[in-house]
Structure 1
């Protein structure tokens, strides 16, 4: 890779990272791994990202009476799922691509609402 094209690529990634700050993005690294998170800070060589991870509730955290949730059927409740974020630093040199995470709306968008 030509040194000028590498500098151009790094400058583009830096500018794009600054443009996407505080947005939910997908980071693709040079080794093929992907992360989704929120860009918190961008420096000249590093970027700080709040990386999202899904966490499932453990079985032993189910103490208490299940009847209050499901009417006393005795079947227990399903495991709950949580999402938490951890701060990680990534070198810009290891970043291959950066894209906004697409947001899918649960409701259809209507350009206007009729008044009845």
Structure 2
């Protein structure tokens, strides 16, 4: 009677697949989903055996002192504008805490051109 050995590589295969996927999407803007359910977007910058280095985007709002300058510049009329900026910070993410990885979907322009008036 022979005993068949079933090798279960679920954890190591999954980690290896994520590692290969990270290498494939290196320097691309991706969505990283963590095992705790949180997700964020970033750019994969480097890959080690047990962690990845990603530039994670965060939104930054303008300070209120700059808002007063906008009011003075526009003569006090209208609504003051608060500008929003996007800043990227480097974060080290353990590969074991990563649940999923996907490319960030962008809206592509239509390949078909529809003119506003017909050409005759």
- Does the TM-score normalized on the shorter chain lie above 0.5? yes
Structure 2 unaligned blocks of 5 or more: 1-6, 114-120
Counterpart CA distance in 1 for 2:94 and 2:50 is 6
User: Please, which of 84, 88, 95 is the counterpart of residue 85 of structure 1?
Assistant: 88
- How much has 1:37 moved relative to structure 2? 0.4
**Residue 99 (1) aligns with residue 82 (2):** no
Partner of 2:62: 57
SS in 2 for 1:62: helix
Partner of 2:50: 45
- How much has 1:80 moved relative to structure 2? 0.5
**Residue 108 (1) aligns with residue 113 (2):** no
TM-score (normalizing by structure 1): 0.81
- How much has 1:59 moved relative to structure 2? 1.4
**Residue 28 (1) aligns with residue 33 (2):** yes
Counterpart CA distance in 2 for 1:65 and 1:10 is 50
Deviation string 1:56-91 (CA, Å, 9 cap, x unpaired) is 1121223436465x4x35335310010000000000
Coordinate RMSD, CA, aligned: 2.2
Structure 1 unaligned blocks of 5 or more: 112-116
**Residue 18 (1) aligns with residue 23 (2):** yes
TM-score (normalizing by structure 2): 0.79
The count of aligned residue pairs is 108
Counterpart CA distance in 2 for 1:60 and 1:3 is 60
2:22–2:44 Cα contact (<8 Å) kept: yes
Counterpart CA distance in 2 for 1:34 and 1:17 is 16
When Rg is computed on C-alpha atoms for both structures, the one with the higher figure is 2
